[in-house]
């Protein structure tokens, strides 16, 4: 696929088949993620891959995120609340969940720089997944489950989980991404 086609085709997939993802393909995706730019080539990311039993444990932890979604039912509306609750319960059935981590720091400028680098690494991973015919979705989570997520993934001391990426083969056709229209303002 041409690069511009990969960018245009990338879409957050939230419903997956149970077809496993080959380890060679996962290594290729994570290799693409590791090629992202970072300040002073720090490469602050570390990826933890959960499949099988570990994936099930991560899913159980993430299902707890829905407990406090009830507080937002007025904001989301009942249909969106039910949709969010269902999705967080099994993460769309994705066979692979990647925990994305950063080194712990109290240094706000360093944290900001690392977060930007991490975002670039995640985008590389998402684009590589699209190029391989996989679906993927970046997932944030309720902050109060972060320690349990860290335990489930076996995250090193001194690192903090920043987000998840769910990966698998889409269960059906992938919808075309929505574009927001004008995204830039040009000044002379």
Domain boundaries, the chain: 11-168
Cβ 171 vs Cβ 16: under 8 Å: yes
Q: What is the pLDDT of residues 107-143, one digit of tens each?
A: 999 999 999 999 999 999 999 999 999 999 999 877 8
11-168, superfamily in CATH? NADH Oxidase (3.40.109.10)
- pLDDT for 58 equals 92
pTM: 0.89
Report which secondary-structure segment, H or E, holds 61.
Answer: helix 52-63
Q: What is the pLDDT of residue 32?
A: 98
pLDDT at 80 exceeding the cut of 90: no
Residue 1: predicted pLDDT: 80
- Is the pLDDT at 67 greater than 90? The verdict is no
């Amino acid at each position: 696929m041409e690069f511009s086609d990969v960018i245009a085709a990338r879409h957050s997939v939230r419903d997956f088949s149970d077809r496993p993802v080959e380890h060679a393909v996962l290594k290729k995706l994570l290799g693409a993620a590791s090629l992202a730019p970072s300040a002073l080539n720090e490469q602050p990311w570390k990826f933890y891959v959960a499949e099988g039993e570990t994936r099930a444990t991560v899913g159980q932890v993430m299902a707890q995120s829905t407990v406090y979604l009830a507080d937002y039912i007025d904001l989301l509306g009942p249909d969106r609340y039910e949709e969010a609750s269902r999705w967080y319960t099994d993460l769309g059935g994705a066979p692979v969940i990647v925990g994305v981590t950063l080194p712990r720091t109290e240094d706000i400028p360093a944290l900001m720089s690392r977060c930007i680098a991490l975002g670039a690494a995640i985008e590389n991973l998402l684009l590589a997944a699209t190029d391989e015919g996989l679906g993927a979705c970046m997932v944030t989570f309720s902050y109060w489950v972060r320690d349990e997520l860290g335990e489930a993934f076996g995250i090193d001391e001194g690192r903090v989980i920043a987000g998840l990426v769910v990966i698998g083969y889409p269960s059906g056709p992938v919808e075309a991404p929505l574009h927001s229209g004008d995204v830039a303002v040009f000044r002379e």
